[in-house]
Amino acid sequence: MALLDENRLFSVEPALRDRARGLYDTVRDLPIISPHGHTDPRWFAENAAFADPAALFVTPDHYVFRMLHSQGIPLADLGVPRADGGPVEGDARKIWGLFAANFHLFRGTPSWLWVNHALQEVFGVTQRLNATSANAVYDQIAECLTRPDYRPRALFERFNIEVISTTESALDDLRWHQMIKDSGWGGKVITAYRPDAVVDPEFDGFADNVVQLGALTGQDTTTWAGYLAAHRTRRAFFKTYGATSSDHGHPTARTEDLPQDVAARLFERALQGKCTGDEADMFRGQMLTEMARMSIDDGLVLQIHPGSWRNHSRDVFARFGRDKGFDIPTRTDYVRALHPLLNAVGGRSDVTIIVFTLDETSIARELAPLAGVYPALKLGPPWWFHDSAEGMRRFRETATETAGFYNTVGFNDDTRAFCSIPARHDVARRVDCAFLATLVATGRLDADEANEVAHDLAYGLAKQAYRL
């Protein structure tokens, strides 16, 4: 039995399905460009075997464990590590069994597709995951993981990844990237500059982090000028490990373009831990504009991932820490929020700002009109809860008529679930081809144009936008 339908995500109408399929056949085997994500560079550095099926599919995947949690399964029973290091379930087979027995919860969700894709295409599983098949599937995956062709580098090559970007803190020493470099392996694994720890006054240990940034860069980060110089130095360091972008995950999309003396005083308050909530937001906003100005000089693409209320459950945050499924999107106003940034640099063609959204209502109303006129601004692909067939369809339907295709930047998988990467890119390619086929079949695009656009969406735009 096949877990996957060969024509999945195409239209059901036969002629339209064939058209989508035909487009898809021209892009399905293109290399994967993965310009934004959260895989662990250590995998590729050490190239050690993955531990077990649960460690690969359950424990690190917040899509998976949050859904199980929503139906009353405690996180500890799924092996999710506790913040205090206390005991959690350690029996991988038991965790896998819980997952398998509850796999019906994922019906209609992207995880259903991603997991089935990985099971079938990566591990050759042909039986559906459930309580009955749990052990057999576990064994099959576990056996694979012992083999050299299931080591991270082998999978990287098998997945046909042309380039993948990880994301590291500005304070990271990039040792794993150095180790990859030193290894002589040809896989292109690059980093991205993620300075939350040193640009967010509300980040744990902000002031100490800024001191550490100074130490790492030899700059005097007690002054605004030195602090900015330290960022420039550190960005240059990241560039030596292939970085072509920075990334910023702020609670709001707020930007600022304050006079430098005002910004300097705000920085001082931030260092002293005196910022109000609003001032902290203002400082983060100022730093987006500063980063954009640095981008003009060093060419790093600026990515903004705003609008998530992090750690909504105080209890789960206290017990399990960050990234446990309790990050909930909120309404985000881009028109006012991006005004300072866009007035500072939005008219330039020598800087690229990629904005992502968790608030789909903003696409047709705000983001497509903004990206459809400011040269610097591009729309990031459907993100997180919208990295799904319906989310991608809605993105194209609401973005394209105003922003076109060429103010978008292809697909990001944005994942830490390595085996889901081919599945995610495959979903994006299928949905985009289905969309293009519909445009052609309804007289809104010519067939040869659709071929070009399909290639651009699957490959070309990501390479170009991220300067890869």
Site for a second copy in 317-336 (CB under 8 A): 325-331, 333, 335-336
Residue count at the site for a second copy (CB under 8 A)? Answer: 94
**HSE-up of residue 187 (Cα within 13 Å, Cβ side):** 25
Instruction: Give the nearest distance from C-beta 189 to a second copy in angstroms.
Output: 30
Told to check if 132 binds a second copy by CB under 8 A, we report no
**HSE-up of residue 191 (Cα within 13 Å, Cβ side):** 28
Told to check if 402 binds a second copy by CB under 8 A, we report yes
Binding mask of the shown chain, residues 192 to 221, with x at each position contacting a second copy by CB under 8 A = ------------------------------
Window 52 to 81, contacts with a second copy (CB under 8 A): 66-67, 69-72
Binding mask of the shown chain, residues 363 to 392, with x at each position contacting a second copy by CB under 8 A = -xxx-xxxxxxxx-x-------xx-xxxx-
Residue 113 φ/ψ region, left for φ over 0, alpha for ψ in the -120 to 50 degree band, beta for the rest:
alpha
* DSSP-derived secondary structure letter, 125: -
Told to check if 135 binds a second copy by CB under 8 A, we report no
**Which one of residues 196, 200, 256, 360 is an interface residue with a second copy (CB under 8 A)?**
360
Instruction: Give the nearest distance from C-beta 449 to a second copy in angstroms.
Output: 6
Window 421 to 450, contacts with a second copy (CB under 8 A): 438-439, 441-446, 449
Classify the C-alpha dihedral 201-241-39-255 as positive or negative. positive
Structural tokens at position 68: 């199980």
Classify the C-alpha dihedral 358-361-366-367 as positive or negative. positive
Per the CB < 8 A criterion, the answer to whether 165 and 300 are in contact is no
Told to check if 255 binds a second copy by CB under 8 A, we report no
Window 7 to 26, contacts with a second copy (CB under 8 A): 7-13, 15-16
**Residue written as token pair 């994922």:** 106
Q: Give the N- to C-terminal CA distance of the chain in Å, as an integer.
A: 39
Told to check if 310 binds a second copy by CB under 8 A, we report no
Complex with a second copy: residue 205 or 347, whichever CB lies closer: 347
**DSSP labels for 31-90?**
PEEE-S----HHHHHH-PPP--HHHHHTTT-HHHHHHHHHTT--GGGGTPPPTT------
Told to check if 356 binds a second copy by CB under 8 A, we report no
Window 141 to 170, contacts with a second copy (CB under 8 A): none
| Dist. CA 196–CA 203, nearest whole Å | 7
Complex with a second copy: residue 8 or 175, whichever CB lies closer: 8
Instruction: Give the nearest distance from C-beta 259 to a second copy in angstroms.
Output: 16
Told to check if 312 binds a second copy by CB under 8 A, we report yes
